[in-house]
Structure 1
Amino acid sequence: MVGRIASLAALLLAVSGCTGTGAAAEEDAGARQARETVRQLPEALAGAGSSLVATAMEMTSGGTRVTVRGEGGYDFVARSGELRVTLPLEMPAGRVPPVTEVFTPGALYMKNRGAGVPADKWVRLDVTTLTDGNLVANGATEPLLAAELLRGVVSVRELPGTELHGEWVRHFRGVTDLVVAAREASGPAGEQLAAALAGPADPAVPFDAYLGADGLPRKIRLQFSLGSETGPDGIDVASTVEFSGFGTPVPVTLPVPEDIYAGAVG
């Protein structure tokens, strides 16, 4: 779908200056606390075990906007999950059945992918070989990877709280650095984010994170810019993951080897 994450212009989110050392110290403490809160989201999710997830990837180019949506669940301890991703009718492949995506550490399995793959076969992708680490390339950002990306937060501030799906949530807005996130993330997530460094020239990624009273994320929104930074072929991508139903069991069944397509994939 896309092969390269380009840079976004640096986003300056410094908190407005205050006079007086006491106010400045309080402000600095608040900024540090906000950074740590956002950086610890992967641990918070692991503590919750699992959840239902809904994804949306909104792509805008040349005045045209399309949105790819997904629904499913994710196990944050096993780092595995499943989504059914629906392509919009505006896209050439939009009139096909939903694409099933199964996430496992280091690999992504897809069914109904198209591109010459038989409908009853799966495709297995090594996500560390994708030029964007599978952040946006296949229509949905892996839920845990969205949180792992926030380990690289370099600036953040807490905005006034807001209501989300009938629940009052805290709202954090800032910028995360893909280089820092790749270094701080562990295991397969770190390898995946390191692979994404092959794509962006500037790894700064603006984000919004919405947290419930229990400290768990309800929504993470990441803003990417793909392709040409100034030319007509650039694409803006807003990737959103929403979390609900924490603790819901998420069984994942991998395809058997004979069901995996061995031919070339277009």
Structure 2
Amino acid sequence: MQQHRCGGGALAFCALTVAGVMAVTAGCSGGSGAGDASGRGERLRAEAAGAGGSAETLRRAADVLAAAGSAEMRTSMETSAGGTRVTIRGRGAYDFRRQLGRVTVVLPKDAAGEEGHRPITELLAPGALYMKNRGAGVPDEKWVRVDTTALEDGNLVTGGVTDPMAAAELLRSARDVTYVGETELAGVTVHHYRGTAHLGRAAGGASARSRGALAAAAKGFSADAVPFDAYLDEDGRLRKVRHRFSFASDGPAVEVVSTMLLYGFGVPVAVRLPAGGDIYTGLIQQGRTGEGGR
């Protein structure tokens, strides 16, 4: 299986990384309740008021999600390059303790010059991304496996979905954090933070399962700094996060905005990774914008 650089940037799978405008709303289910708002909510406000408190709160986000166990998710990825914009959406569930997830990714109608595309099923695992219905030339019953530690972006954008644990681990490197204030997201009170994550620092402080992919991303992105907006509920659980990534290229610069919504905490997540015989190892046909590829 061969990887290609898109004409607009260093992205491994062109069909999933053409440019786009995000169209995510906060209208999903709020999932489990906000918990003891009078207690934990006051703690978050107090931390925000103290020096460095907001950054410390965000650096714990990955650990809080692991304690919560699992969640349902909705995602949106918008990329923009050379005046072209496309949005990729996903929906699924993720187990933060095992760092395993299953998501269905829907490509926009015109992402490859076609009227419609079959949804792509993706399995997220430490160090690996599995995709079904990946593209032409792959038998329907077969999966494509990608080593995320070998990707230039560490699978932060390649699959059209940022791995949820990687998204939370990025916040361990939060700097220059501002507490924006309280707002409401799908009927749940959340605390809005804005700041900058740093890929290199995130890789150094990440859990063992996430470290390899984040280290690859730290080398592959044109900018180490990743601006973000994060929203935590009264229990300190990450409910929404938006990251803004930048790629350098020989052509127009590529900007990618990845947004993830989390809800339905504690939902059962069943993920069975494909056996070796179910993984396709041949060439893959994949399209650029106006070009063929493999």
Task: Note whether the superposition's TM-score is higher than 0.5.
Answer: yes
Q: Structure 2: how far apart are the matches of 1:242 and 1:220?
A: 7
Q: Corresponding residue for 2:248?
A: 227
- Counterpart secondary structure, 1:198: helix
Q: Which residue of 2 aligns with 1:54?
A: 74
Structure 1 ranges of 4+ moved more than 6 A: 26-29
Alpha-carbon distance between aligned partners in 2 of 1:192 and 1:128, rounded to the nearest angstrom: 4
Q: How far apart are the structure 2 equivalents of 1:57 and 1:28? A: 29
Does the 8 Å contact 1:153/1:174 carry over to 2?
A: yes
C-alpha separation in 1, matches of 2:239 and 2:173 = 19
Query: Partner of 2:160 in structure 1?
Result: 139
**What is aligned with 2:269?**
250
Q: Is the 8 A contact 1:49 1:246 kept in 2?
A: yes
- Letter in structure 1 aligned against 2:220: G
SS in 1 for 2:50: helix
Aligned identity (percent) is 49
Decide which moves more: 29-38 or 172-181: 29-38
Q: TM-score, normalising length from structure 1?
A: 0.86
Report what 2:91 is aligned to: 71
TM-score (norm. length: structure 2): 0.78
Task: Report whether the alignment pairs 1:107 with 2:128.
Answer: yes
Unaligned runs of 5+ in 1: 6-25
Instruction: Indicate the residue corresponding to 1:3 in structure 2.
Output: 10
Bigger proportion of residues as strand: 1
Paired AA for residue 68 in structure 2: A
| Inter-CA distance 188–104: structure 2 relative to 1 (3 Å threshold) | same
Secondary structure in structure 1 of the residue aligned to 2:230 = strand
Q: Spell out the pairing of 1:80-119 with structure 2 (5 A cutoff).
A: 80-92=100-112, 95-119=116-140
Structure 2 unmatched runs, 5+: 1-5, 13-45, 285-293
1:109–1:124 Cα contact (<8 Å) kept: yes
Asked whether the equivalents of residues 47 and 57 of structure 2 are also in contact (C-alpha less than 8 Å), the reply is: no
Question: Which residue does 1:177 correspond to in 2?
Answer: 198
- 2:231 matches 1:210: yes
- Which among 50, 58, 65 is matched to residue 30 of structure 1? 50
Give the partner amino acid of 2:218: L
In structure 1, what is the equivalent of residue 257 of structure 2?
238
Structure 1 CA distance, aligned partners of 2:206 and 2:191? 24
Shift of 1:186: 1.7
Q: RMSD of the alignment, in Å?
A: 2.1
CA shift, 1:202, in A, is: 2.5
